[in-house]
Amino acid sequence: MKTSFWSGFMVLVLANTFFLVPPTYGLIRVDKEGSGGFTVIQDALNSAADGDTIIIGPGRYEDTSVFNNGYHDFEGCAYVLANNVTLLGEDRDSVIIGPDTPYAPGSPHGVFLGELIEAFRIENLTLEGFHWGILISGRVVVDDCNIWGCNFGIRDWNPVELTVNNTEISNCNDGIFSHATQATLIQNCTFSGNRSGARVYGPDILVTGSTFDDERGGIGTSGSGTWGTISNCQMSGHSLYNVAISNGAQITLNDNFFGASFYGARFFNGAVVTGSGNIFEGGELSAIWIEEGAVVSLENNHILPGSAYSVYVGSGDEYPDDPNDILDFQNNYWGTTDEAEVAALIYDNNDQPECNVIIDFQPMADGPLPTEEMSFGSIKAMFR
């Protein structure tokens, strides 16, 4: 059978169109002005299948519904039941989910993931004024978002992995509270005005390139199954602590700036802490506070005086070894190279016999050490 030129031409055009034009399957649009398929986020989620992306146009989305997750009823804005769904805002500052007032008792939840969700991604939008900004389950990525005025910015439900990138979390009671069972990554984020910046527990934690400022506490972590690294972060302005590590958690601190606060860095209840390249500024009580059996080894850091001690070790029988336990604080710079002055900045067994720990600070660095450029300027300014 002969095929006409035009028939063959049309087959070729259609074939090329099929391969050149990306498929639109899996894209759902929500728009307040009605130009999308939906005006309410939950209606779009109700129609979503596994792997769909929901694109959200500018505007404030405050619509809520009452759901039941198999345990209890709750009021929320977005209940996700399909796997591997992405909520993608068109612009972080103009796509706002939630009321324009901070959290109060009785406030609804924001984005709530079903218990069996395996993966979810939320990107490029603002969440504000919720009890839980995002209640996570499975493997969750939060990217380039703004979370403001919630009780919990990000809270866990049944988490496996949590990744938070380039996100600002502010004016929440807890910025992040998570027990991810496999890994937690927080990178290039900003925390400010929260009661606690991030409380994270579990294996393979990495917090890096992030700023914690003007909060009661910066990062808190604990538990014998908790381990990881905090690096290249800046923490200052906290009324209680910059970092608190306890209950057997094993954490490495590298190249961080810990500004003056009440405790500074607090290590207790059997925490295991190592690190180098950090700057610990003295605060109201100490730059570093150690107690209750914590094992700490810090070399090649700046540990600087404040209004009291640079390092304070609490007394008690938490260190049962005899003779006294010795903690490695060698090769640090203490703001001075005078041995007697450094000894006076340390409170340990030499000051209180009931304290079963000696801080071994010899040898000392003979001057300021190379550190991250972001913090070194402040160190140099202190000694001009």
Q: Looking at the domain assignment, is residue 209 inside a domain? A: no
Which of 200, 231, 265 is the C-terminal boundary of a domain?
Answer: 200
Instruction: Retrieve residue 235's tokens.
Output: 């923490």
pTM over the 0.85 mark: yes
Question: Do residues 227 and 196 share a domain?
Answer: no
Instruction: Retrieve residue 297's tokens.
Output: 């080894």
pLDDT at 364: 97
Question: Do residues 128 and 225 share a domain?
Answer: no
Q: Which residue stretches of the chain have pLDDT < 70?
A: 1-25, 315-324, 371-384
Amino acid at 299: E
Question: Do residues 341 and 232 share a domain?
Answer: yes
Instruction: Retrieve residue 14's tokens.
Output: 């259609």
Q: How far apart are CA 272 and CA 246, in angstroms?
A: 8
Strand pairing partners for 126? Answer: 96, 146
Owning domain of residue 254:
221-377
Are 177 and 199 in contact by the 8 Å Cβ rule? The answer is yes
Q: Looking at the domain assignment, is residue 1 inside a domain? A: no
Question: Do residues 31 and 139 share a domain?
Answer: yes
Question: Do residues 231 and 195 share a domain?
Answer: no
pLDDT at 316: 55
Which of 147, 166, 200 is the C-terminal boundary of a domain?
Answer: 200
Which of 149, 169, 200 is the C-terminal boundary of a domain?
Answer: 200
Total length of the chain: 384
Q: Looking at the domain assignment, is residue 384 inside a domain? A: no
Q: Looking at the domain assignment, is residue 210 inside a domain? A: no
pLDDT at 16: 43
Are 288 and 274 in contact by the 8 Å Cβ rule? The answer is no
Q: Looking at the domain assignment, is residue 2 inside a domain? A: no
Are 134 and 150 in contact by the 8 Å Cβ rule? The answer is no
Question: Do residues 196 and 231 share a domain?
Answer: no
Question: Do residues 158 and 36 share a domain?
Answer: yes
Pairing of strands 234-236, 279-280: unpaired
Q: Provide the CA 114 distance to its chain's centre, in angstroms.
A: 22
Question: Do residues 151 and 229 share a domain?
Answer: no
pLDDT at 116: 87
pLDDT at 322: 53
pLDDT at 183: 97
Question: Do residues 345 and 277 share a domain?
Answer: yes
Are 317 and 355 in contact by the 8 Å Cβ rule? The answer is no
Q: How many domains does the chain fold into?
A: 2
pLDDT in tens, 242-256: 999 999 999 999 999
Annotate 75-139 with DSSP letters as a single string.
EEEEEE-STTEEEEES-TTTEEES-SS---TTPPEEEEE-TT--EEEEES-EEES-SEEEEEEEE
Question: Do residues 142 and 111 share a domain?
Answer: yes
pLDDT in tens, 12-47: 434 443 334 444 449 999 999 888 899 999 999 999
Q: How far apart are CA 365 and CA 286, in angstroms?
A: 20
Buried b (16+ CB within 10 A) or exposed e, 139-153: bbbbbebbbbbbbbb
Q: Looking at the domain assignment, is residue 350 inside a domain? A: yes
Question: Do residues 321 and 185 share a domain?
Answer: no
Q: Looking at the domain assignment, is residue 216 inside a domain? A: no
Cis check: omega of the bond before 363, within 30 degrees of 0: yes
**Residue 68's CATH number:** 2.160.20.10
Question: Do residues 37 and 182 share a domain?
Answer: yes
CA atoms in the 13 A half-sphere facing the CB of 368: 17
Q: Looking at the domain assignment, is residue 232 inside a domain? A: yes
Helix, strand, coil distribution of the chain in percent, nearest 5 = 10, 45, 45
Q: Mapping DSSP to helix (H, G, I), strand (E, B) and coil, where does residue 209 land?
A: coil
